[in-house]
Structure 1
Amino acid sequence: MNDCRLLKMLIKLTNLIMRRTVPKKYDYLPYSTIQLQTTTAVEITEVCSLVSKGVGSLDDLELSLDNLNLPLASSLVRQVFESSCKSEAPTRRLLRFFSWSMENLESKLEDKDYNLAIQVFSERKDLKAVEILMSDLVKQARSLNSSTFSLVAETLVKHEKEDEALGIFKNLDKFNCPHDVITVTAIVNALCAKGHAKRAEGVFLHHKDKIAGSERLIYRSLIYGWSQQCNVKESRRILQEMKSAGFVPDIFCFNEFLRCLCERNLKSNPSVLLPEALNVLREMRSYGLGHSTTSYNIILSCLGKVRRVKESLQVLERMRKTGCFPDSVSYYLVARVLYLTGRFGKGNEIVNYVIEMGLVEDHKFFYNVIGILCGVERVNYAIEVFDKMKSKSLGGYGPVYDLLIPKLCRGGDFDKGRELWDEARSMGVCLSISSEVLDPLITKVFEPVRKEKKKVTLMESRLLRLELKERSRKSKKKK
């Protein structure tokens, strides 16, 4: 180990001497010409290869970088971090390369180099590397960009480290970063995205003077944050404060409040879900906001979760009457609740209507419908929908074959499974399932098992009634 460190020190010393010594054949050149020597593309590729694909330990990486004897500059560091190393190289090797650059660069790294490295590690979700570089940034008295802080705050909050994100925000002066509209909005958005609306509102109130003119964006984020917690009372309060501040809530604000209200009623009182949702739509209309398809789809989604078939059909009809044309998602949500409640005829009518009217733009609608039909054990209907999907020539058939073939074989219909298998192979569709699923000796067939109801004789039912009457008589006597 000591020999390795000694060798490393000798190599560094040799490289330092070589960098400071100009060969005799260049003695006649002006000093400025020597400084203009830059790293070639081949050398950059070699560095990237060492960082991303090199073998050995991190110490071996440093030794290899020392042996390259490159004309170092901050531009080299930026080029490495902006190359394929950004996504391919292991983050620990990238971090060691940056540390090596800090030690070996004669011209110090610039602020933008630190910010670029922190952004890369934030995107790669290496929180330890971010912590190390943030600490180095403070030690070197560097400046943190507002955009870099935004990315760091978002990454930390996503990983349930909101305390660390708030700690950095409160001490932005140490990072030479201002508390301005960008940083305040960034921390509020990051907190609200994960439902930490109360803490985000505290930041907003404390720094309200620094975000003049951008309050609308903050209010939108706060409504979203409280909606994440299904807190209708606080969401309504923010809406009222927004109006009082002179900002008219837009469709996004009302849709988030509507989602919050519907999900709360979904858990507590499904019977008032539709009436209260329609009240919100009327309120939107009073502000001159037209009903959006998204608003109705929020209602349909929640109604479907509690199997409200009649009300779902009413909402679909209401959409048509109010001039808010349903999209493929609206029809799918209604068809879904129909299938889940065993109303296959009406569900098929809606699916056929969507296909015939040309409302299907991609294969996602077909994926969802076929998945529901397979889930409720109606594979024959799923095959019919799949045939219509193929007639539209939308492509993306692989996942459907992967679903239908095993489903048919486990249901005992190996012939139809083999037919679909051959069809997929003839079309050149790449399947992820194995051909073993077509073998009856390997694939287990699941037969539906019905629970037999126990038959109760007339005498047993009479005895049961007499026993219940006797129990009720005794309980009355005790009272």
Structure 2
Amino acid sequence: MHCFWKSRWTGFLLQNIKTNKSKPPLYSTKQQPLNQLPLELQEVCKVISSWIGGLDDLELRLNQFKGQLTYPLVSQIIDSCKHEAPARRILRFFLWSIKVLDFEKLKDEDFNHVIRVLAEKKDHTGMRILISDIRKEGRVMDPQTFALVAETLVKLGREDEALGMFKNLEKFKCRQDGFAVTAIISALCAKGHAKKAQGENVKEARKVIQEMKGGGLVPDLFCYNTFLKCLCERNLKRNPSGLVPEALNVMMEMRSYRIEPNSVSYNTLLSCLGRARRVKESYRMLETMKTTGCAPDWVSYFLVAKVMYLTCRFGKGNEIVDEMIGQGLLPDRKFYYNLIGILCGVERVSYALELFERMKTSSLSGYGPVYDILIPKLCKGGDFEKGRELWEEATAMGVSVSCSSAVLDPSITEVFKSRRKVEEEVKPEKSSRNEIPRLEPKTRRERGKVKKKIRGN
């Protein structure tokens, strides 16, 4: 069973891991334009998409259809009107087509297709009707269909129903393989993140993993990374000090099954550590990646440098950026965009300029957004000379700048002083006042001593 999973789905899942993007659609979502259909089918689509009349009226109008209906046309009609038509009218059309095509039965894939459409529309009752029909007629449910149904059920707050369906997949002739395990864990963990659940979905996901291991099926890397993300998100909200210990326990478990944590595993943890501003642990995890043989990627360095800059450890942040460059890693432009934006946000434009120089030495293009940040920031901070220098530099390089040239005019641009500079100017004024400081005892013991002295006098 596990070998089947590896051969069929590993390429698909590893692509998700490398790109670190949202999951692609589990099935084709191409929609044929309505005007490309024959006139008879266009009329059927209009009837289904109409909000006028009840479901019985819909069926009466469908009975007036004189054309020859085939199962490819049924799917074609549903695809053409699934975005406009109400879910219950789509279901009624499909049930009507089953009666019409009595001698030419619909295939399993047609049932699966309609279930997926209803799942997208979050029609729980419609899904249950067709899922029940699949089970009664002994039809096969596709793994992709189960994945979408499980995700929809969890979003609707029906986790128990999704888990019950997972445990009884054999009744739907659907393999309980690695893809199914990943699907149910992903659904549970996604809800734990979106609704900030109090750990219940983490426990359910862990329970699924334990049951699968007991049945001889070992979750794969993608499955563990999904669970790790859910666990870290839960600890970020409830127990930040448990982020590292619990994540390392999961990674240890992964290695016991010869599954090496990759950069996505560590980056998931580093992201939550950064959001919790746990600086030392972030830096230690970056060092741990090197010692365990998992080479940090540019995202790893970005997450650690980000938390360094946000906590005003600018020198250490620069060291991490230099280390990344020394390793020969070529980051995405967003690496520099985000860090330069952070440095400008914390009023450290000089460090932002240094980071911009590093960006230019790495031969990355796309400098326009950086000039758009730095030039107004410098001018509004009173450094019009440096702002004009950057403007001329951008013009000489042929870089288009979105900010207006009016920002370079001191008579137009209002200069703002940063809060830090204002506080530095206010402090000497307060200390220069000839006021007698008011001394008050801070502790109860000191107050008692003062009272005794007063009574003695």
TM-score calculated relative to the size of structure 2: 0.70
Question: CA separation of 1:150/1:177 partners in 2, compared to 1, >3 Å: closer, same or farther?
Answer: farther
Contact 1:227 1:256 in 2 (8 A): yes
CA displacement 1:417-469 (0-9 Å, x = unmatched): 33333433444434444444444444443212345577797752236668983
Q: Show the counterpart of 1:345.
A: 315
Contact 1:331 1:354 in 2 (8 A): yes
Q: Show the counterpart of 1:136.
A: 93
Quick check: 1:469 aligned with 2:434? no
Contact 2:88 2:126 in 1 (8 A): no
Quick check: 1:209 aligned with 2:148? no
Cα distance between partner residues in 1 of 2:92 and 2:265: 46
Q: Show the counterpart of 1:33.
A: none
Pick one of 251, 267, 272 that aligns with 1:281: 251
Structure 1 residue 154 displacement after superposition: 4.8
Radius of gyration: which is bigger? 1
Q: Show the counterpart of 1:81.
A: none
Q: Counterpart amino acid of 1:288?
A: R
Cα distance between partner residues in 2 of 1:71 and 1:404: 58
The sequence identity of aligned pairs, in percent, is 43
CA displacement 1:356-414 (0-9 Å, x = unmatched): 33212432322232222222222222222223323333322233233323322332333
Q: Show the counterpart of 1:250.
A: 220
Q: Show the counterpart of 2:10.
A: none
Contact 1:192 1:221 in 2 (8 A): no
Contact 1:153 1:186 in 2 (8 A): no
Pick one of 31, 55, 72 that aligns with 1:112: 72
Quick check: 1:298 aligned with 2:253? no
Question: CA separation of 1:402/1:178 partners in 2, compared to 1, >3 Å: closer, same or farther?
Answer: farther
Cα distance between partner residues in 1 of 2:175 and 2:97: 35
Pick one of 344, 356, 374 that aligns with 2:326: 356
Aligned length: 384
Q: Show the counterpart of 2:376.
A: 406
Q: Counterpart amino acid of 2:267?
A: N
Cα distance between partner residues in 1 of 2:413 and 2:442: 47
Q: Show the counterpart of 1:222.
A: 184
Higher mean C-alpha displacement, 311-320 vs 259-268: 259-268
Cα distance between partner residues in 2 of 1:320 and 1:245: 35
Quick check: 1:155 aligned with 2:120? yes
State the SS of the aligned residue for 2:399. coil
Cα distance between partner residues in 1 of 2:411 and 2:227: 55
Q: Show the counterpart of 2:338.
A: 368
Q: Show the counterpart of 2:232.
A: 262
Q: Counterpart amino acid of 2:360?
A: K
Pick one of 110, 127, 147 that aligns with 1:145: 110
Cα distance between partner residues in 1 of 2:320 and 2:48: 55
Structure 1 residue 234 displacement after superposition: 1.9
Structure 1 residue 330 displacement after superposition: 0.8
Question: CA separation of 1:459/1:367 partners in 2, compared to 1, >3 Å: closer, same or farther?
Answer: closer
CA displacement 1:49-85 (0-9 Å, x = unmatched): x969xxxxxxxxxxxxxxxxx99687xx7xxxxxxxx
Cα distance between partner residues in 2 of 1:165 and 1:377: 56
Consecutive unaligned residues of structure 2, counting only runs of 5 or more, are 1-32, 51-57, 193-198, 452-457
Quick check: 1:234 aligned with 2:204? yes
Contact 1:220 1:253 in 2 (8 A): yes
Q: Show the counterpart of 2:367.
A: 397
Cα distance between partner residues in 1 of 2:443 and 2:436: 11
Q: Show the counterpart of 1:186.
A: 148
TM-score calculated relative to the size of structure 1: 0.67
Question: CA separation of 1:271/1:388 partners in 2, compared to 1, >3 Å: closer, same or farther?
Answer: same
After superposition, where does 1:166-185 map in structure 2 within 5 Å?
166-167=127-128, 169-170=130-131, 178=139, 180-182=141-143, 183-185=145-147
Q: Show the counterpart of 1:335.
A: 305
Which is bigger in relative contact order (C-alpha 8 A, separation at least 6)? 2
Quick check: 1:385 aligned with 2:350? no
CA RMSD of superposed structures (Å):
4.2
State the SS of the aligned residue for 2:438. helix
Question: CA separation of 1:401/1:243 partners in 2, compared to 1, >3 Å: closer, same or farther?
Answer: same
Contact 1:193 1:224 in 2 (8 A): no
Q: Show the counterpart of 1:199.
A: 161
Q: Counterpart amino acid of 1:163?
A: H
